[in-house]
Amino acid sequence: MIAKITHKGKSYNLDLDKPIDISIPLRVGKENVNAWYSKPVSIEPVRMGDWIGDVKQGGYVNFRDIMFNPHGNGTHTECVGHISKEDYTINQSLKKFFFMAELITVLPDEKDGDKIITKQHIENCLGDKRPEAIVIRTLDNHISKINKQYSNTNPPYLHHEAAELIDALGIDHLLIDLPSVDKEVDEGKLLAHHSFWQYPHNTKLERTITEMIYVPNNVFDGTYLLNIQIASFENDASPSKPLLFQLNVAL
> What pTM did the predictor assign?
0.97
State the pLDDT at residue 72: 98
CB atoms within 10 A of CB 154: 12
CA angle 206, 81, 28 (to 5 degrees): 105
User: pLDDT, tens digit, for every residue of 57-105?
Assistant: 999 999 999 999 999 999 999 999 999 999 999 999 999 999 999 999 9
State the pLDDT at residue 61: 98
User: In which band, very low, low, confident or very high, does the pLDDT at 9 lie, cut at 50, 70 and 90?
Assistant: confident
User: In which band, very low, low, confident or very high, does the pLDDT at 29 lie, cut at 50, 70 and 90?
Assistant: confident
User: pLDDT, tens digit, for every residue of 169-223?
Assistant: 999 999 999 999 999 999 999 999 999 999 999 999 999 999 999 999 999 999 9
Class of domain 2-27+70-249: alpha beta
The burial of 197, by beta-carbon neighbours within 10 Å (0-12 exposed, 13-18 middle, 19 or more buried), is given as: buried
Residues 6+ apart with CB under 8 A from 99: 131, 132, 133, 172, 173, 225, 226, 228
| Phi, psi dihedral angles at 195 (to 5 degrees) | -65, -40
**Closest CA relative to residue 77, chosen from 103, 95, 58, 52:** 95
Q: In whole angstroms, what is the distance from residue 132 CA to residue 123 CA?
A: 15
